Amino acid sequence: MNTEQDVRIRVENLYKIFGPNPEKAFPLIDRGLSRSEILEKTGNVVAVRGVSFDIKKKETFVIMGLSGSGKSTVIRCLNRLIPATRGSIYVDDKDIMKMNKEELREVRRYTMSMVFQHFGLLPHRTVVDNVEYGLELGGMEKKERLEKALAAIELVGLKGYEQSFPHELSGGMQQRVGLARALANDPEVLLMDEAFSALDPLIRAQMQDELLELQAKMHKTIVFITHDLDEALKLGDRILILGPDGTARQVGTPEEILSDPADDYVARFVEKVDRTKVITVGSLMRKAPVITIPREGPGAASRAMENNKISSIYVVDSDRYLKGLVRIDDTVKLYRKKERALEPALIKDFYSAYEDTPIADLLAAALTAKYPIAVIDKDYRYKGIVDRATIINEVQVDAEELESPMHFTQMEECLLSKVQEAAAREEAEASGE
Ligand code: ADP
Ligand code: MG
């Protein structure tokens, strides 16, 4: 095998056929019969049909497809939990299919770890005992495995919960335990089969963010399975899309898949995704200084704006509820008049959004807003701001990606250029000119 240096896993022409006589299915596959026709004629299920792909070192490789498209079967073939019917699977240039029991055990123990959708925790073991479990099976001595387990627990943010039992933890925390167990022996490859699919949406988004952060530190090879396109776009360096018949339809970066779908199936899968609908306010939000009333007044507000070289600043109360914003010229006037309270200067006509608001919903606001857009939670507590220029920039990128710039109507274009000027001014101002 002359494999490129940066390839960790290479899958060549993989077939998995479940049933009484898998070989009987191949002539029918060659004739192009469908999964259901082959099932009817032979009693075999063609779960994976001639799939080839490479996974690079340090990449997060997402396998995406609808339920039944063969995702779980593919990932289980990678560590031979399921033997492939035909094809080759190389891990670091070694053929998984040709390994003996001992070699296979080594690979599963040291090279690849799996994280499951339903956590797979042992209910009567504590967090630390669950995380140690794999190491224990591997025959590692107590002191060393405890050390490794504690380090993994800390890595996933569960320090302090070592002695808890799974049922005492939320779903998100239980999945962290699953992740810690997989990380405990420091594997090169993490296999994650719908690992976040059982979590509720908020926790799920949080786990995705944490996985991204963790991966930025760990640089593992991650194989992540999902049926959710947004999750795939968010996590994947590259994405493999499986069709409903168990064939590979496309491998590419999120951008390639969105902008250049390989066939009608992929196109239909992604057509409803528009960047401005995928990108949310949360991803563009930045923390910005705030003023807390009544503790701070016109003097503190003026000073904060001066120090940060900004002309307006948001105001919250001591519970961080958003009260409005103030402008520096108004606060300076109040200060000179020796006023103590900021209220007379509070401006209420600003735009606000939630972290999960798609920026598509904010375009109009970005085009007309006078101030940065405030990001709040559902209780109206302040989280941060999004600058109008940031939103406009996203839209511009989007416009450039389109072949025809006439995507914008003339009026929008006119507005856009005005806002770009204003944004440029704002930026100049922010940089202290
Ligand atoms: P996914 O994970 O994408 O939902 P799976 O890999 O679980 O898909 O399944 C792919 C196809 O193979 C499905 O049609 C499923 O019913 C079938 N299949 C999976 N496992 C088995 C099995 N052990 N025996 C028979 N058919 C199976
Ligand atoms: Mg599955």
Q: What would the pLDDT profile of 132-159 be if each residue is shown by its tens digit?
A: 988 888 788 999 999 999 999 998 989 9
Q: Which residue, by CA, sits nearest to atom 12 of ligand 1?
A: 47
- What would the pLDDT profile of 88-120 be if each residue is shown by its tens digit? 999 998 999 999 999 998 888 889 988 877 777
Q: What average pLDDT does range 255-264 have in this prediction? A: 88
Distance 370 CA to ligand 2 centre (A): 48
- Other CB atoms within 10 Å distance of the CB of residue 55: 23
Which ligand does the CA of 246 lie closest to? 1
Of the candidates 422, 191, 227, 429, the residue with the CA atom closest to the CA atom of residue 309: 429
Q: Ligand nearest 197 Cα, by number?
A: 2
pLDDT digits (tens, 9 = 90+) for 211-250: 999 999 999 999 999 988 889 999 999 999 999 999 999 9
Q: How would residue 121 be classed by pLDDT, with cut points 50, 70 and 90? A: confident
| Ligand 1 atom index nearest CA of 69 | 3
- For residue 70, pLDDT beyond 60: yes
Sign, CA torsion 380/381/382/383: negative
Mean pLDDT, the chain, whole residue set:
87
Atom of ligand 1 nearest to the CA of 73: 6
Strand-pair partners of 189 = 112, 221
Where does ligand 1 bind, in terms of residues with CB under 6 Å?
18, 45, 47, 65, 67-73
Question: Is-contact 190 220, C-beta < 8 A?
Answer: yes
427 in the Ramachandran plot: left (φ > 0), alpha (ψ -120 to 50) or beta? alpha
Task: Supply 64's token pair.
Answer: 């995406």
Nearest ligand 1 atom to alpha carbon 76 = 6
**Which ligand 1 atom is the nearest neighbour of the CA of 227?**
3
Q: How far is the CA of 46 from the centre of ligand 1 (A)?
A: 9
From the CA of 70, the nearest ligand is 1
Asked if residue 277 has pLDDT above 70, the reply is no
Between 334 and 185, residue with greater pLDDT: 334
Least confident of 44-58, 254-268, 372-386: 254-268
Distance CA 232, CA 194 (A): 11
Nearest CA to ligand 1 atom 10: 70
Instruction: Please write the tens of the pLDDT for every residue from 376-410.
Output: 998 899 999 998 888 877 765 444 443 333 333 33
Task: Please give the distance of CA 7 from its chain centroid, rounded to a whole number.
Answer: 23
Give yes or no for residue 272 having a pLDDT over 60: no
Neighbours of ion ligand 2 (CB under 5 A): 72
> In the structure, what pLDDT confidence band is assigned to residue 431 with cuts at 50, 70 and 90?
low
Give the ligand whose atoms come closest to the C-alpha of residue 194: 2
Closest residue CA from atom 22 of ligand 1: 18
Most confidently modeled of 156-170, 192-206, 265-279? 156-170
Percent of the chain past pLDDT 90, that is, above it, reads 61
Rounded Cα gap, residues 65 and 18, in angstroms: 19
Task: Provide mean pLDDT across the span 266-275.
Answer: 72
Q: What is the pLDDT of residue 408?
A: 38
**Atom in ligand 1 nearest the alpha carbon of residue 35:** 14
Q: Ligand 1: which of 15, 17, 18 to mutate, most ligand atoms within 8 Å of CB?
A: 18
Distances (CA, A) of 107 to 51, 78, 178: 22, 11, 19
Atom number, ligand 1, closest to the C-alpha of residue 193: 2
pLDDT given for residue 429 in this prediction: 64
The rounded Å distance from CA 309 to ligand 1 centre is 59
Residue 75 pLDDT more than 70? yes
Torsion angle (degrees, nearest 10) of CA 357, 212, 194, 132: -140
